[in-house]
């Protein structure tokens, strides 16, 4: 195993876990669509930035879903709808502006 620092300045995790109606989960609440729009918009707005959008399994706060978390900034968006994506992108833009030097450092 190799221990390294993450290559991403900002990693956006979108829970797409689907429990098939056994219990509440993010997937059935449209989180896949949220992830897709985030992915497209991040690539469009910051094509050269080290920002990654990834789908994940359960983030442990299912009742608050759909959930989107941003690391290492430790920002958590809960009860997200596709209509909230613009607000999330605005928050990412604040993060990018605040860390412009780090963003461009490889």
Q: Answer yes or no whether residue 95 interacts with ligand FES by CB under 6 A.
A: no
Supply the minimum distance, in Å, between the C-beta of residue 4 and ligand FES.
27
Could you tell me which of 55, 56, 97, 40 has the C-alpha nearest to residue 73? 97
Q: Answer yes or no whether residue 65 interacts with ligand FES by CB under 6 A.
A: yes
Look-up of token digits 């979108």 = 14
Q: Residues binding ligand FES: what is the number (CB under 6 A)?
A: 11
Stretch that binds ligand FES, among 38-46, 53-61, 73-81, 83-91 (CB under 6 A): 53-61
């Amino acid at each position: 195993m190799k221990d390294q620092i993450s290559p991403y300045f900002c990693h956006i995790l979108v829970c797409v876990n689907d429990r098939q109606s056994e219990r509440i989960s993010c997937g059935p609440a449209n989180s896949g669509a949220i992830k897709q729009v985030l992915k497209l918009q991040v690539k469009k707005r910051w094509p050269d930035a080290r920002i990654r959008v990834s789908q994940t399994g359960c983030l442990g706060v299912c009742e608050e879903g759909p959930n989107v978390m941003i690391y290492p900034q430790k920002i958590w968006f809960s009860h997200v709808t596709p209509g909230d994506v613009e607000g999330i992108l605005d928050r990412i833009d604040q993060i990018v502006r605040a860390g412009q030097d780090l963003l461009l450092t490889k």
